[in-house]
Amino acid sequence: MSKALLIDTTKCIGCRACQVACKSWNDLQGGKATFSETWSNPRFLSSNQYNRIIFREISRPEGKVEWHFISRRCMHCNDPACASACPVGALTKLPTGPVVYDDGKCIGCRYCMMACPFQIPKFEWGSAVPLIRKCTFCADRQAIGLAPSCVTTCPTGTLLFGERPALLQEAHRRIGSEPKRYYPQVYGEKIGGGTSNLYLTAVSFEELGLNHRGFRTDLGDMPQGIYGREWMSKVPYVAVAVGGLAVGLHYLQKRRAEIHAQERQED
């Protein structure tokens, strides 16, 4: 069965323990924190940073200030665009949920980075032997029956790990029982063909201002990879048609020239 992650952002307190746990389990170097106009730190995902908390501040006209903490990481699509894009099949969706990457296959073309609708795969720009890096959904931990490290660290129960259908049911139950607390849509249920990450938020991603920063809401329910696969399914027919037409025309012209020459001889 396919594992998934229910991310109830209304429960998140922005402690960033998940960021630390992720670095610790994946042996990633700590980065130097910098000041900026936002509380989010670091500012971007990178080959050294597989997840991060985005801090959003919304000031209501009546004077109320709301805080929202949104965990950002690989969505682990049910039908990932990156896996359809990769020319060597380095990226694959495991039947158990995670979208994993094979270091030994990657040629570094970076097409996955272009194709991913959530802008997740990151490149090791600093290395002379660079690879793609992204959240692995702790596939190695899952393989030995453990939950992802961020899940075990989260102190508030924001992250819930389990079977996708069960989590979806739970998500809708929460929306139904507290309609004032939640935006009535589960991000990840259908978008881009559905993802393993299921987000519950207090307001929509448009209102959070994140719909153009990795949480696109205009992707539709079709997985992006399907456009490439549709194209590829036509390729054999185009090849046969063009090849056949070329051979046919060539021999037609040749025969025409022969007849022409014969006629001339007979004259």
Q: Does 227 bind another protein (CB under 8 A)?
A: yes
Q: In the complex with another protein, which residue's Cβ is closer, 143 or 239?
A: 239
CB 36, CB 43: distance < 8 Å: yes
Q: Does 113 bind another protein (CB under 8 A)?
A: yes
Contact flags string 195-224 toward another protein, x per CB under 8 A: -----------------xx--x-xx----x
CA atoms within 13 Å, Cβ hemisphere of 187: 26
Instruction: Give the other-Cβ count within 10 Å of 184's Cβ.
Output: 9
Among 243, 258, 260, 262, binds another protein (CB under 8 A): 243
CA–CA separation, 200 vs 177, rounded Å?
13
Q: Does 259 bind another protein (CB under 8 A)?
A: no
- CA trace torsion 154, 39, 69, 218 (10° rounding): -130
Q: Does 237 bind another protein (CB under 8 A)?
A: no
Contact flags string 124-143 toward another protein, x per CB under 8 A: xxxxxxxx------------
Q: Does 74 bind another protein (CB under 8 A)?
A: no
Query: Would you state the structure tokens that stand for residue 85, as one six-digit string?
Result: 């894009």
Among 166, 247, 259, 261, binds another protein (CB under 8 A): 247
Q: In the complex with another protein, which residue's Cβ is closer, 106 or 147?
A: 106
Q: In the complex with another protein, which residue's Cβ is closer, 175 or 226?
A: 226
In the numeric block, the tokens 């025309």 are attached to 249
Helix H or strand E encompassing 4: strand 3-8
CB 40, CB 68: distance < 8 Å: no
Among 1, 13, 107, 166, binds another protein (CB under 8 A): 107
Total of residues contacting another protein (CB under 8 A): 59
- CA trace torsion 25, 30, 35, 40 (10° rounding): -10
Q: How far is the CB of 173 from another protein (least distance, A)?
A: 31
The closest of 78, 118, 89 to 226, measured between CA atoms, is 78
Q: How far is the CB of 83 from another protein (least distance, A)?
A: 8
